Amino acid sequence: MLPSSNFDVVPTSLLPPNASRYELLRAGPEPSEVKVMLTIWAVVSLLVAIAGTTLVVAIISSRRTRHSAFDLYLAALAVPDLFLGWNCFIACTIRTGDGAYEAHGALCLWQGVFTSFGVAASFWINAIVAHDLYALLLKTKQCENYSPPTPAVVLCRCICAYAFSALVSSVPLFQGFPVDIYMLRGLICTPVDTDLTSTVLYWLGLTPFITGIPMMYTCGVILVCWHRELVPNFPRLRFAHHSSAKETPQDLLASGTTGDAQERRARRARAVSLYFFRLFLALIGMQTPGLLLLLCLPIRSPWAFWVGGTMIHLQGLMSVAMGMAKPSVWQAVRDLLGCNHLRAKHANTVAPAPGIILPAKGRNSNPSPIPARLSSQ
């Protein structure tokens, strides 16, 4: 049963000069402006959806990337973006088509759920990546072998993060919960606080599980890595390897703790950690000001609110573009778009013509292109 709506959208021009934040959340733009705003959102969302889907399919279809834990995490980070992109494209298209979009109907409730899910899943997957990067950097500094999680473990962790994000995003649908889903500023449906009680519960009981806890955890891991100097600093490398008197050079070679091997390992760890650090900076650098413009700042202009939503949409496109900048992922994308894996599979399955014996590889093989049966005659 859908809850009753008392949060109808009103034109911004009808608001009093000293309108409160709750009144500004109900203020919407003119119908002609709505079509322009939502059309741009639909185009951006479609680009995000196509790019994110391409990235995920490319990583999964490549044998090299789908067996790499951090490449799989990169695909997991793109899943919320493509999910949000496809659903936003459909929602904006419906709104710009005939406008038949109830301010508190089933489509509005669904938009509120998938919007919160996309934001929550992105932050929780980043927290999981930060946990594994900390283990990688710690093992690297201690000159110990790091065993990355298997693809099955990565998949299990990501599914748990998605399930928890979906559960938290569905809480406003429960009867009796003070925070409900309404049409915000006449543009997007999302959980909205409508009074003091719902405001306290929204910011202290709901928001921490969507963005607060995973963002603070990731920032905490970054600060610990910086404080403990876990990220190798080149060209001077400092490792915390304490060899005992009983260790021989053969033991060091067997354990892989020689200088050259450790330098290569440290460079790879530094490159991976800084790569995902930039992805996290892109997330909080676009999501934080976007959410402030959407929910916090009491701004009268609907276009300022629209800019906040546009920043959140562009964050997905920026993250996917940065994901494709990774050499192994970019090669997987090129192979997917060029259908190289299909060509290789077809080439491996092509059998030689009947009656032709291919020359064996080796020192005594027949170098002549003439079949062996014909050349012996």
Give the DSSP H or E segment for 251.
helix 249-255
**What's this model's pTM, rounded to 2 decimal places?**
0.79
CATH code for the structural domain at 10-235+264-342: 1.20.1070.10
pLDDT beneath 70: ranges in the chain: 1-7, 97-104, 234-259, 340-377
Amino acid at residue number 13: S
Residue ranges with strand state E in 19-67:
27-28
What pLDDT, on a 0 to 100 scale, did the predictor assign at position 134?
Answer: 93
What pLDDT, on a 0 to 100 scale, did the predictor assign at position 187?
Answer: 84
Q: Is beta strand 180-184 parallel, antiparallel or unpaired with respect to 188-192?
A: antiparallel
Domain ranges of the chain: 10-235+264-342
Residue 201: strand, helix, or coil = helix
What pLDDT, on a 0 to 100 scale, did the predictor assign at position 247?
Answer: 41
What pLDDT, on a 0 to 100 scale, did the predictor assign at position 52?
Answer: 93
What pLDDT, on a 0 to 100 scale, did the predictor assign at position 50?
Answer: 95
> Which one, of 307, 356, 325, 291, lies nearest residue 118 by Cα?
291
What pLDDT, on a 0 to 100 scale, did the predictor assign at position 83?
Answer: 94
What pLDDT, on a 0 to 100 scale, did the predictor assign at position 305?
Answer: 86
What pLDDT, on a 0 to 100 scale, did the predictor assign at position 101?
Answer: 53
What pLDDT, on a 0 to 100 scale, did the predictor assign at position 267?
Answer: 84
